[in-house]
Amino acid sequence: MLVSKVPSKTPPITSGVAGYVESVRFCLQTRMKAVVKLGGALFKRDPDVDALRGMGKVLSGFAGEGNQLVTVAGGGQNARVYIDVARKLGADESTSDLLGITLTRANAELFRLALGSIAVAKIPTMLSELIHYVSPGKVVVMGGLQPGQSTNAVAALAAEITRADLLVNATDVQGVYTADPKKDPKAKMLRTIGIDKLLSWAMAGDVYAGKYELLDPVALKIMQRARIPTRFVSMEDPSNITSALRGRDIGTLVSYS
């Protein structure tokens, strides 16, 4: 399958929230190209079949409208458990990363099954493969690609190479907060956040296999260079994802100066 042609018209170029709304409104008038990063919370220690089916139903419905969709599966608890055991057995960080990648691809296979016939049968293992599989009305599912690179970075690269109109990062919280909302009850959710602020937060922490915070520096740098329209939303209700894809002001929008 070949990459869908870019519409002959180009969307209006406007910055900020207004630009995001105009861009999504334009895309809804044509065929939308989107990437959705599915956080590890969807892939529990004991996979929840109903949760996977529910997410598959919602996203297959979006693709079934003629939209092009790439989804990237996170590692979840199983990946963290295996990585922790590998470290205790003496594995270095690259080896631990490779083990985590194997788990993300297993999660991707589960989600491919949850999507049904609308999913592309092949799970790409290289970025160069992706452009041969994307097409309107289909969903490509991916896991990790290489050591030192989180699945958030994979999602950003997928959005860049497919020229996605929007990247939605679905997590287990409502959006981006001033602090970890699971630890700090005073944490406030931000409706918008600049890419520079996200980078400063990411650069302040350590990056290890299986321990990538909200977004790691590599993912953010890719988003920054490609100026990828990005929203963070909660995956607790799968419709949050499609609401973001349809231009609703939900979660946190990343802005570029």
Could you read off the pLDDT of 90-120 as tens digits, one per residue? 999 999 999 999 999 999 999 999 999 999 9
Look at residue 204 in the predicted model and tell me its pLDDT: 76
- Cβ contact 149:125 at 8 Å: no
pLDDT digits (tens, 9 = 90+) for 172-208: 999 999 888 888 888 899 999 999 999 988 887 654 4
Cα gap 104→88, rounded to integer Å: 21
Of the pLDDT bands very low, low, confident and very high (cuts 50, 70, 90), residue 18 is: low
- Cβ contact 220:159 at 8 Å: no
Look at residue 207 in the predicted model and tell me its pLDDT: 47
Whole-model pTM over 0.95 = no
- Cβ contact 70:164 at 8 Å: yes
Cα gap 102→237, rounded to integer Å: 27
pLDDT at 237 over 90: yes
pLDDT at 41 over 70: yes
Look at residue 256 in the predicted model and tell me its pLDDT: 94
pLDDT at 240 over 50: yes
pLDDT at 3 over 60: no
Cα gap 147→94, rounded to integer Å: 5
pLDDT at 62 over 80: yes
- CB under 8 Å, gap of 24 or more: what pairs does 197-205 form? 198/254, 199/224
For 59, list phi and psi in degrees, rounded to 5. -75, -30
Compute the radius of gyration of the chain from its Cα atoms.
Answer: 17
Give the HSE-up count for residue 82: Cα atoms under 13 Å, Cβ half-sphere: 17
Look at residue 6 in the predicted model and tell me its pLDDT: 34
Which sign, positive or negative, has the C-alpha torsion 246, 250, 252, 253?
Answer: positive
Q: What is the mean pLDDT of the chain?
A: 87
pLDDT at 70 over 70: yes
